[in-house]
Structure 1
């Protein structure tokens, strides 16, 4: 059995970290090392991590200054000894057979990468959603041109996206080291995971998607998705431009990227609701006006209108393209986005 590395970035998760670690030390696949990277936690998370090293010799802890999730993962990769590596977020949990299923997905098809689905769970562990993929293997150019393309977002005419998160994926350390693949900072990109994916899948030779949902993604009151992010528009535009420049000649990837841009833009507008932003009606209208007048938003909406045919999706893009601020304000207020 090959050694598998599990990298867990840790930051101020004292309420959840024990659940996470208990789920990892209980894995049915035993030949693992668990690298906990305490990213400058100011609560008891670091002390809890240290305590777990006395319970299981497979656990190692690195304490470092706070630099963010992406750089914490890089720190874990620097000391990883396994042939393959998986990432788990410290407020999430794994079913007991998560590693075993991913490893089996690698070996059954002789792959260098294996991807599973996930369950979304509430703070107390109740399952609220399950994303399960059909089993499929990608090989050669198809890994980047077809599988990675699905990570950019769904095609304009169907729902076929594969979540781009790096958790519940088994990656080859040989590929990572050979090509010096590192995470950027999420303080620059709203999704450091898709930047990682855009590099890694260029070099992966064979990847298996399995139907497992053994990863449990926890939605907590403190989740980033629950907070108002004043720089969200800027971040989604920075990410879009970065990825667009990587795929200039690939119309299929660009169309998927543009669809995902509007998924992100919906979220950007949704967070302007009073319940999230605590803004006055006038301030919300002003924020929506700034969004539709953004030059990146204008350019993407103009391009994407030429390739979409699905009615509801096209209507939203049209409303944005023609800067219908009052209509967007009304639809958003009644929860129609």
Structure 2
């Protein structure tokens, strides 16, 4: 018997082309004891009306209409009214397999975990097809906060997002989303990981992630200093946390991600941003190089880029 309720929070902003598919995939879950909260974040297309139409089809659906304030604040608005024992987030241009919540709540409870997660499909650009990730038993695991963050820094795409997870209510309620403009999911993950005693994972890809033209993740990649600082805010926060708590190896792993972000964005940074992040690169590179935690191939890769910056 499904005694525990899962509150599913869906931020909605100008996604009329995808919203019904998303919500129907939640309605059709094999785990039925759901509270579905649609948060219309000031949509200017037909999304707000669609939320009301969908609400009429299923009594488990609640709708919030609010002024546009961004994804993080939309999720927090959903949290304010959520009644569930567990909390999940689905982006409104994505959808989920019918066993998504059944398998995640089983994983969470079977392992006495505070957070459970899974892998995901990713769509092929400019098509309706999705790529199935290669099977790997390495994604079946139970770990602690340090183990999870180690995995996150080595496989960011799978672990640093909010939507492929299920959370115990207390964990997420104690750590609402911060109003940051970019990477609000990643900004929260370190806080959540260190609030959790145990995190469990399954290799099943149960979430269907869509790269949508015009979305935050597919927007232009020409960064001013201010824009790059927004992109780096989450990893700066993590590094400062590890410094404060003398976690040398995790600090070095986070610094590796910091260097990765500079290296991958370098050709798209403006002159001011390049000047600023050149010195930042060497500051983080020095500590990363001399500290355990990262493989030698990573240290070689970022040494090669450091030489490029010198010459």
Please tell me the TM-score bracket, short chain as reference.
0.7 to 0.9
Taking the aligned partners of 1:171 and 1:219, their CA distance within structure 2 comes to 24
Partner of 2:236: 241
Partner of 1:321: 306
Q: Is the 8 A contact 1:185 1:192 kept in 2?
A: yes
Q: Residues 35 and 210 (structure 1 numbering): CA distance in 2 closer, same or farther, change over 3 Å?
A: same
Partner of 1:305: 289
Residue 319 (structure 1) shift:
4.2
Partner of 1:135: 140
Tell me which moved more, 297-306 or 109-118. Answer: 297-306
Partner of 2:217: 225
**Equivalences for residues 1-337 of structure 1 within 5 A:** 1=2, 2-122=4-124, 124-128=127-131, 130=133, 133-138=138-143, 143-151=144-152, 153-154=153-154, 162-177=158-173, 180-187=174-181, 190-229=182-221, 230=223, 231-248=226-243, 249-269=246-266, 271=268, 286=271, 289-290=274-275, 293=278, 295-307=279-291, 310-311=296-297, 313-324=298-309
Taking the aligned partners of 2:268 and 2:98, their CA distance within structure 1 comes to 36
Q: Residues 271 and 21 (structure 1 numbering): CA distance in 2 closer, same or farther, change over 3 Å?
A: farther
Deviations, residues 23-80 of structure 1 (Å, cap 9, x unaligned): 1111111110110111111111111111100111111110111111111111111111
SS in 1 for 2:112: coil
Tell me which moved more, 100-109 or 263-272. Answer: 263-272
Q: Residues 228 and 298 (structure 1 numbering): CA distance in 2 closer, same or farther, change over 3 Å?
A: farther
Taking the aligned partners of 1:8 and 1:160, their CA distance within structure 2 comes to 22
Structure 1 unmatched runs, 5+: 273-283, 327-337
SS in 2 for 1:196: helix
Taking the aligned partners of 2:79 and 2:300, their CA distance within structure 1 comes to 44
Q: Residues 267 and 37 (structure 1 numbering): CA distance in 2 closer, same or farther, change over 3 Å?
A: farther
Taking the aligned partners of 1:73 and 1:212, their CA distance within structure 2 comes to 25
Deviations, residues 226-247 of structure 1 (Å, cap 9, x unaligned): 2224244222443333221111
Q: Is the 8 A contact 1:292 1:321 kept in 2?
A: no
Residue 150 (structure 1) shift:
2.3
Taking the aligned partners of 1:109 and 1:317, their CA distance within structure 2 comes to 38
Q: Is the 8 A contact 2:187 2:235 kept in 1?
A: no
Partner of 1:332: none
Structure 2 unmatched runs, 5+: none
Taking the aligned partners of 1:260 and 1:129, their CA distance within structure 2 comes to 25
Residue 136 (structure 1) shift:
1.4
Q: Residues 296 and 288 (structure 1 numbering): CA distance in 2 closer, same or farther, change over 3 Å?
A: closer
Tell me which moved more, 210-219 or 240-249. Answer: 240-249
TM score, norm. by length of structure 1: 0.80
Taking the aligned partners of 1:160 and 1:289, their CA distance within structure 2 comes to 24
Q: Is the 8 A contact 1:150 1:161 kept in 2?
A: no
Taking the aligned partners of 1:269 and 1:129, their CA distance within structure 2 comes to 31
Tell me which moved more, 119-128 or 86-95. Answer: 119-128
Deviations, residues 180-215 of structure 1 (Å, cap 9, x unaligned): 31110132xx32222322222222223211122100
Taking the aligned partners of 1:320 and 1:80, their CA distance within structure 2 comes to 47
TM score, norm. by length of structure 2: 0.87
SS in 2 for 1:15: coil
Taking the aligned partners of 1:324 and 1:207, their CA distance within structure 2 comes to 39
